[in-house]
Amino acid sequence: MEEVDGFSGTTPTEETNGSGNLMDFLDEPFPDVGTYEDFHTIDWLREKSKDTDRHRKITIKSRESMWEMIKSLLDAWSGWLVMLLIGLLSGTLAGVIDLAVDWMTDLKEGVCLSAFWYSHEQCCWTSNETTFADRDRCPQWQTWAQLMTGYTEGAGVYLLNYLLYVLWALLFSFLAVSLVRVFAPYACGSGIPEIKTILSGFIIRGYLGKWTLMIKTITLVLAVSSGLSLGKEGPMVHVACCCGNLFCSLFSKYSKNEGKRREVLSAAAAAGVSVAFGAPIGGVLFSLEETLWRSFFAALVAAFTLRSINPFGNSRLVLFYVEYHTPWFMPELVPFILLGVFGGLWGTLFIRCNIAWCRRRKTTSLGRYPVLEVMAVTGITALLSFPNPYTRRSTSELISELFNDCGALDSSQLCDYSGANANVSTSRALDDTPDRAAGPGLYSALWLLTLALIFKIVITIFTFGIKIPSGLFIPSMAVGAIAGRILGVCVEQLAYHHHDWIIFKSWCRPGADCVTPGLYAMVGAAACLGGVTRMTVSLVVIMFELTGGLEYIVPLMAAAVTSKWVADAFGKEGIYEAHILLNGYPYLDQDEFTHRTLATDVMRPRRNEAPLAVLTQDSSTLEELEALIKETDYNGFPVVVSRQSERLIGNSVVYFTEEAPQLPASNPQPLKLRRILNLSPFTVTDHTPMETVVDIFRKLGLRQCLVTRSGRLLGIITKKDVLRHMAQMTNQDPESIMFN
Amino acid sequence: MSTVVQISTFLLASLVLVNVLCPAHADKSYEDVRCKCICPPYRNISGHIYTNNVTQKDCNCLHVVEPMPVPGHDVEAYCLLCECKYEERSSTTIKVTIIAYLSVVGALLLYMLFLLLIDPLIRKQDPYTLPLQNEEDSEDVRAHIDSALGRGNTMLERVEGAQQRWKIQVQEQRKTVFDRHKLLS
Instruction: Confirm if A717 and A688 have CB atoms less than 8 A apart.
Output: no
Average pLDDT over residues A308-326: 67
Instruction: Quote the CA–CA distance of A622 and A55 in Å, as a whole number.
Output: 36
- Highest mean pLDDT (candidates A66-75, A448-457, A488-497, A687-696): A448-457
CB-based contact B13 A92, cutoff 8 Å: yes
Whole-angstrom distance between the N-terminal and C-terminal Cα of chain B? 29
Contact B68, B50 (CB under 8 A): no
| Sheet of strand A615-616, all strands in order from the earlier edge strand to the far edge | A615-616, A637-640, A648-652, A677-678
Give the pLDDT score at A503: 73
Q: How far is A283 from chain B (nearest CA, A)?
A: 23
Does B76 reach chain A within 8 Å, measured CB to CB? no
Query: What is the C-alpha separation between A247 and B13, in angstroms, rounded?
Result: 13
CB A559 within 8 A of CB A477: no
Length of chain A, in residues: 740
Phi, then psi, of A123 in degrees rounded to 5? -65, -40
Burial class (CB in 10 A: 0-12, 13-18, 19+), A6: exposed
CA distances from A355 to A351, A463, A574 (A): 6, 12, 11
Q: Which chain A residue shows the shortest CA-CA distance from B11? A: A89
Cα A325 → chain centroid:
32
Which residues is A13 bridged to in the sheet? none
The answer to whether the CB of B173 falls within 8 A of the CB of A186 is: yes
Q: How confident is the model at residue A511 (pLDDT cuts 50, 70, 90)?
A: low
In this prediction, residue A656 carries a pLDDT of 47
Alpha-carbon span A311 to A95, nearest angstrom: 6
Query: Between B9, B24, B98, which is nearest A117 by CB?
Result: B98
* A26-80 per-position pLDDT tens digit: 344 444 455 677 777 777 777 887 888 888 888 888 888 888 888 888 888 888 8
Residue A350 has pLDDT above 90, yes or no: yes
Residue B133 has pLDDT above 50, yes or no: no
Query: Between chain A and chain B, how many beta carbons pairs sit less than 8 Å apart?
Result: 165
A172 half-sphere exposure, CB direction, 13 A CA radius = 31
| Binding-face residues of B in 123-162 toward A, CB within 8 A | none
Give the pLDDT mean for B40-61: 80
Instruction: Work out the pLDDT band at B9, boundaries 50, 70, 90.
Output: low
CB contact under 8 A, B95 and A189: no
Instruction: Please state the φ and ψ torsions of residue A713, each to the nearest 5 degrees.
Output: -80, 130
Instruction: Strand B33-39: give its sheet, edge to edge.
Output: B48-52, B33-39, B83-88
pLDDT for the residue A528: 94
Cα nearest neighbour of A91 on chain B = B17
Q: A98-107, A287-296, A572-581 — which is least confidently predicted?
A: A287-296
Instruction: Write out the H or E segment, with its range, that includes residue A359.
Output: helix A333-363
Asked if pLDDT for residue A590 goes beyond 70, the answer is no
Nearest to A92 among B17, B48, B91 (CB): B17
- Helix, strand or coil, per DSSP, at residue A684: strand
Task: Give the CB-side neighbour count of residue A153, counting CA atoms within 13 A.
Answer: 0
Where does the pLDDT of residue B129 fall: very low under 50, low under 70, confident under 90, or very high at 90 and above? very low
Contact criterion met (CB < 8 Å) for A131 and B49:
yes
Point out the residue among B16, B41, B182 whose CB comes nearest to the CB of A421.
B41
Q: What was the pLDDT predicted at A664?
A: 47
Q: Are B79 and B52 in contact (CB under 8 A)?
A: no
The mean-pLDDT minimum among A24-38, A103-117, A183-197, A679-693 falls in A24-38
3-state percent helix, strand, coil for chain A, nearest multiple of 5: 55, 5, 35
Determine the distance in angstroms separating the CA of B3 from the nearest CA of chain A, rounded to an integer. Answer: 10
Rounded to 10 deg, the angle between the A395-403 and A517-533 helix axes is 130
CB atoms within 10 A of CB B114: 11
Cβ contacts of B184 on chain A, cutoff 8 Å: 186, 188-189, 194, 583
Nearest CA to A95 out of B86, B22, B85, B12 is that of B12
The DSSP result for A426-462, as a single string, is TTS-TT-PPP--B-HHHHHHHHHHHHHHHHHHHHHHH
Q: Please indicate whether, in this complex, the C-beta atoms of A188 and B182 are within 8 angstroms of each other.
A: no
Q: What is the pLDDT of residue A671?
A: 65
pLDDT-wise least confident of A177-191, A428-442, A475-489: A428-442
Mean pLDDT on A150-168:
89
Average pLDDT, chain B: 73
Q: Tell me, what's the pLDDT at A338?
A: 95
Q: How far is CA B164 from CA A317, A367, B3, B111, B115, in A?
A: 42, 28, 14, 15, 12
pLDDT of residue A597: 79
Domains in chain A, start-ordered, CATH in brackets? Answer: 74-107+186-319 (1.10.3080.10), 333-363+370-583 (1.10.3080.10), 599-736 (3.90.1280.20)
Whether B68 has its CB under 8 Å from any CB of chain A: the answer is no
The mean pLDDT of A134-152, rounded to a whole number, is 80
Highest mean pLDDT pick, A327-336, A339-348, B23-32? A339-348
Give the pLDDT score at A667. Answer: 55
More confident site: A331 or A376? A376
Return the pLDDT at A670.
63
Least CB–CB distance from B101: residue in A96, A125, A582: A96
Q: Tell me whether residues B9 and A184 touch, CB distance under 8 A.
A: no
CB contact under 8 A, A178 and B112: yes
Alpha helices in B26-90 (DSSP H): 61-64, 75-81
* CB-nearest partner of B80 from A128, A309, A426: A426
Most confident of A275-289, A468-482, A504-518, A536-550: A468-482
Three-class SS of residue B37?
Answer: strand
Closest in A92, A95, A408 to B40, CB measured: A408
User: Which run of H or of E encompasses B38?
Assistant: strand B33-39
Higher-scoring residue by pLDDT: A317, A473: A473
Residue A263 C-alpha, separation from nearest chain B C-alpha, in angstroms: 23
Pick among B3, B50, B56, B97 to test the A interface (most A CBs inside 10 A): B97
Rounded Cα distance, A264 and A258, in Å = 10
In percent, how much of chain A has pLDDT > 70?
Answer: 79
Beta carbons of B83 and A409 less than 8 Å apart = yes
Produce one character per residue of A440-452: b if its CB has 16 or more CB atoms within 10 Å, e if not.
ebbeebbebbeeb
The dihedrals phi and psi of B37, each to the nearest 5 degrees, come to -115, 125
The yes/no answer to whether this complex scores an ipTM above 0.85 is no
pLDDT at residue A478 above 90? Answer: yes
Taken in order B43, B49, B52, B58, is the CA torsion positive or negative?
positive
User: CB–CB of A623/A714 below 8 Å?
Assistant: no
Angle between helices A192-199 and A575-583 (to 10 degrees): 70
Collect all residues with Cβ–Cβ distance below 8 Å to A422 and sequence separation of at least 6.
none
CA dihedral of B40, B42, B44, B48, whole degrees rounded to 10: -30
| Closest chain A C-alpha to B141 CA, distance in angstroms | 18
**Euclidean distance between CA atoms B162 and A306, whole angstroms:** 35
Do residue A92 and residue B39 have CB atoms under 8 angstroms apart? no
Choose the mutation target among B98, B169, B182 for the interface with A, i.e. most A CBs under 10 Å.
Answer: B98
Q: Is the predicted pLDDT of residue A9 greater than 50, yes or no?
A: no
pLDDT score for B63:
82
In this prediction, residue B147 has a pLDDT band, given cuts at 50, 70 and 90, of: low
Contacts of A429 (CB under 8 A, 6+ apart): B80
DSSP labels, A223-238:
HHHTT-S-BSHHHHHH
Mean pLDDT of A482-504: 85
Highest mean pLDDT among A271-275, A418-422, A458-462, A655-659: A458-462
Dist CA A447 CA B50 (whole Å): 35
pLDDT above 70: residue B100: yes
Find, in chain B, the residue whose alpha carbon is nearest to that of A246. Answer: B6
Interaxial angle between packed helices A575-583 and A333-363, expressed in degrees from 0 to 180 and rounded to the nearest 10 = 20
Is B98 within 8 Å of A358 when comparing Cβ atoms?
no
* A11-37 average pLDDT score: 43
| Gap between the Cα atoms of A234 and A469, Å rounded | 9
Give me chain A's average pLDDT, please: 79
Sheet holding A683-685, edge to edge: A683-685, A704-709, A712-718
Task: Say if B39 is an interface residue toward chain A (CB within 8 Å).
Answer: yes
Q: What is the pLDDT of residues A95-124, one digit of tens each?
A: 999 899 989 999 998 888 888 888 888 888
Residue in B80, B97, B185 closest to A358 by CB: B185
Highest mean pLDDT among A148-152, A369-373, A623-627, B178-182: A369-373
A522 touches A558 (CB < 8 A): no
Contact in structure between A474 and A318 (CB atoms under 8 Å):
no
CA distance A635 to A274: 39
